[in-house]
Amino acid sequence: MFDLFQSPAKKKELRAYQADALQTLKNSILAGNRRIVLVLPTGAGKTLIAAKIVEGALSKGGQVVFTAPMISLIDQTIAAFESEGLTDIGVIQADHPRTNARAAVQVASVQTLVRRDQMPTASVVLIDEAHVYSKAVVDWMDAEPNLIFVGLTATPGRKGMAQEWQDIVVGTTTRQLIDAGYLSQFTVYAPSEPDLSGVKIVAGEYQAKGAQEVMEASGLVGDILQNYILHGEGRPTLGFGMTVAHAKRMAEEFTDAGIPSAYVEARTDTLERKALQQQFKDGKLQVIWSVRTMTTGVDLPVSGIIDAAPTRSAMLHQQKIGRGLRVNEGTEDLKIWDHAGNTLRLGFVDELDWSELRDGTRETKERERKEPLPKKCQDCANVMPPKCKECPVCGAAQQPPSGWIETEDGDLVPINREVGARDMSQADKSGFYSELLGVAKDRGYNPGWAFHKYKEKFGIQPANTFPKLAKQPSAKVLSWVRSRQIAYAKSKSKEASHAN
């Protein structure tokens, strides 16, 4: 049997865990396994590892088929392989200009394979995103039990995978990559927790229409737009909606508020998708919204995730957050605004266990461990480990939640409405008031406007000792003022709607 991992030429140097993963995979094949899942989190270098497998097969005269679950990933895979020095590549997809049946490497669309009576000749078959079920692939594995199949995935949690595959190799974990600096540190905030108790469960997942109604109608759901204006910091962000209509509406609301946004769906063609992604990289788009379209095969400089799509699937939860974990210049950390409650329901993505293949009885939905789930800070909505007595972000001591309420637009505030007051000194409050006076001066407002806005923010009037000096407002204060204006406009729109 040829050595899959021997390459005739020196290529890009492997990281230690990548070399270990390849060796463990080789050992599994030598032990007689022919259908092996290789687990590699986002940012682990899946393309490089796949290229090394291809190089080894080609060096011994073998042929390789690489299957992609979506047509949109075909050209992306070709470009990635060519960047690793692989050039003898053909494509199995209808009317593709790179069609070449004689090429030693074939990049195949799974959808095209379904329609073929005979599978292409291969020594090794690489199955990208192996957690996505494909009857064509399963039938192929059953028909050729001696052919080597290697499944690549970050989330091998689909039910039935244990029946399809013989072994699993965990190349590394999300936490190990974060600790090594290959992935971004992340912070999760839960500005709102939707009540999904009345939403139907269909095939193990929340019914899309019912969950969308909760996300759009519930008074307990945080105002996603206002939260981003206040805390988004202008970060390049991916947003996930419950349905196409939901994602499209969010993109429109963000754009109307001066935050350039777009939405992508399954029907968005390749050219438009590439154009939108380039605008995102150039900073012309700040947020791209989608449903599940942007959960795989996305390599963008993302430092913010807005999750407004509740799910019971740990796989989908991991895939969504994974889009923002890559370390890019200027995006060294990730902020996640989880309006769907998924982290509170399923756990932190760096703690999910993907070391076992699942049988046919259940998917990994709710966390299958006895430890308690994360909890939310009562002051800043940071999601933290369950046993924390003090928030690692804002330092607030954690008390029983009985004294807390949520406002109608979803901002977390104490009953006395002093938002963050316990963390602000009198000097900080005085400065905030001076900046409000600066806004009033710049816009020609009466100074009384600043008085009332301060009271709206803190629930009390400015202290008599505060100097009435107008200062240049900071971006933070301007963002807060802007969020209040949007809230006011929305309330007026609702009043007009009810009146009509």
User: Which contiguous run of DSSP H or E holds residue 247?
Assistant: helix 244-256
Phi and psi of 119, rounded to 5°? -80, 155
Question: According to the model, what pLDDT value does residue 364 have?
Answer: 42
Computed over every residue of the chain, the mean pLDDT equals: 84
If one compares 205 and 361, the residue with the highest pLDDT of the two is 205
**CA-to-CA dists, residue 134 to 57, 109, 131, 322, 454, angstroms:** 24, 11, 9, 23, 58
Q: Is 70 exceeded by the pLDDT of residue 63?
A: yes
Question: According to the model, what pLDDT value does residue 4 have?
Answer: 58
CATH 3.40.50.300 domain locations along the chain = 16-173, 182-353
Give per-residue pLDDT as tens, 398-415: 765 433 333 334 443 222
Give per-residue pLDDT as tens, 332-358: 799 999 999 999 999 999 999 999 998
pLDDT confidence of 175, banded at 50, 70, 90?
very high
Give per-residue pLDDT as tens, 188-206: 998 877 888 889 999 889 9
Question: Rounded to two decimals, what is the model's pTM?
Answer: 0.76
Check if CATH label 3.40.50.300 holds for domain 182-353: yes
Q: Is 80 exceeded by the pLDDT of residue 250?
A: yes
Question: According to the model, what pLDDT value does residue 356 have?
Answer: 92
Please measure the distance between the N-terminal and C-terminal CA atoms of the chain and give it in whole angstroms: 77
Asked whether the beta carbons of 335 and 303 are under 8 A apart, the reply is yes
Domain 16-173 in CATH: superfamily?
Answer: P-loop containing nucleotide triphosphate hydrolases (3.40.50.300)
